[in-house]
Amino acid sequence: MRGRSTRNRSAAALTCIAALGALTAGCRNDTAPAWEYPELGTALSSLSRDLDERCGPTATPAGCAKHLDGLTAPTERAFAEVLDHKLLDVRTVAAMNDLDRARAERFTAGRAARARQEPHYLPFRRAVAAEELAYRRMLSELERLRTAPPPGDGTDPV
């Protein structure tokens, strides 16, 4: 009889220890939602894929410029997502400003190329390449923001 009582006490003690461990684990913030913002990740991978496919090494400057114009709306949606999640920082703002400047330079160079009736006008080609590079920098900045862990490791006690 005595052996059974000892086993019951041991089982009860183990159950209490397991319950305390579960309660302790439950008081941590490790069940918080994923901070990697999957919607933003989808938008960024789509933008990156579009940029790779449409402005590859075989694309003409005019063709690439046309496709860059089509990336404006998805880029603004991704940037709006960053604002919604309050992820904005100085580097991202600088990357967006660089993109805006590169786009303005491309428009100016495009007008000059059309006036000269020269689709492979060197300043236009350079402006298209600069805008493509600005898009890539902006995408890498947004990806950096998306994947940066929140302050702490996200499992701080509540």
19 & 94 share domain: no
Q: Return d(Cα 43, Cα 37) in angstroms, integer.
A: 10
CA-CA-CA-CA dihedral for 76, 81, 85, 86, to nearest 10: 0
Each residue of 5-20: pLDDT tens digit? 666 666 565 555 555 5
Residue 108: pLDDT band (50, 70, 90) is very high
Structure tokens belonging to residue 19: 């319950």
Structure tokens belonging to residue 94: 């600088």
Between the CA of residue 8 and those of 17, 44, 46, what are the distances in Å?
14, 58, 60
Query: How many domains are there within the chain?
Result: 2
101 & 137 share domain: yes
Helix, strand or coil, per DSSP, at residue 28 = strand
Each residue of 72-82: pLDDT tens digit? 888 888 888 88
pLDDT > 60? residue 27: no
Sign of CA dihedral 102, 107, 112, 114: positive
5 falls within a domain: yes
105 falls within a domain: yes
158 falls within a domain: no
Give the pLDDT score at 28. Answer: 45
Q: What are phi and psi of 28, to 5 degrees?
A: -105, 160
Give the pLDDT score at 8. Answer: 62
91 falls within a domain: yes
64 & 22 share domain: no
Residue 158: pLDDT band (50, 70, 90) is very low
Q: Return d(Cα 60, Cα 126) in angstroms, integer.
A: 12
Sign of CA dihedral 104, 108, 114, 119: negative
58 & 103 share domain: yes
16 & 82 share domain: no
28 & 73 share domain: no
| Mean pLDDT along residues 103-107 | 95
102 & 124 share domain: yes
86 & 127 share domain: yes
| Mean pLDDT along residues 22-45 | 64
Class of residue 36 by CB neighbours under 10 A (exposed 0-12, middle 13-18, buried 19+): exposed
Give the pLDDT score at 103. Answer: 95
66 lies in which domain range? 38-147
43 & 115 share domain: yes
10 & 47 share domain: no
42 & 2 share domain: no
71 & 107 share domain: yes
